[in-house]
Amino acid sequence: MRTFTLPEAHTLLPVLDSLLQRAQAAATVATTRENALRGLSQAIFLSGGLRVDLPEVARIKAEHAAAISEAKDTLEEISSIGVEVHDLAAGLLEFPFQLEDEIVMLCWLQGDKNITQWHKAEAGWDERQPLDDRFTRGDRPQ
């Protein structure tokens, strides 16, 4: 598992914010198209299938599949950097950090200027704590 220094994580925030926005937009499109497909399915059922606009259904299905693919690819790109997406909709990211003898997670919420909180790897987002001087000392082993 790759770990980050606090400055490394801060440097990545603009790129990660852009990637998050792309994944969030794709997820929104996927949800919208999924809802449209449900509505079409309901309309087809109610009309007995007599008024199906096949090109429209095919277009919506293609847009849905493309949006899902875009969201997955973008999330994989974030993951390949070594950062974990804790909650896509909220924009919660976690960066592994070597703190003394254990790996902990630096926490960032989309919209925040900097990373200001952390939690133990096995703990959850609700158990985060403010960063302290251990995170900025620079005495981490390389």
- Domain ranges for the chain, please list them: 1-142
Q: What is the pTM of this model?
A: 0.85
CA 8 → CA 2, 13, 82, 109, distances in Å? 12, 9, 12, 16
pLDDT digits (tens, 9 = 90+) for 58-101: 999 999 999 999 999 999 999 999 999 999 999 999 999 999 99
How far the first Cα of the chain sits from its last, in Å, is 14
What residues does 109 pair with on adjacent strands?
92
- pLDDT-above-70 percentage for the chain: 94
pLDDT digits (tens, 9 = 90+) for 4-22: 999 999 999 999 999 999 9
Pinpoint the alpha helices (H) of 48-142: 54-81
What residues does 98 pair with on adjacent strands?
103
Q: Are the C-beta atoms of residues 5 and 104 closer than 8 Å to each other?
A: no
Asked if residue 139 has pLDDT above 90, the reply is no
- Reported as type and span, the H/E element at residue 104 is strand 102-109
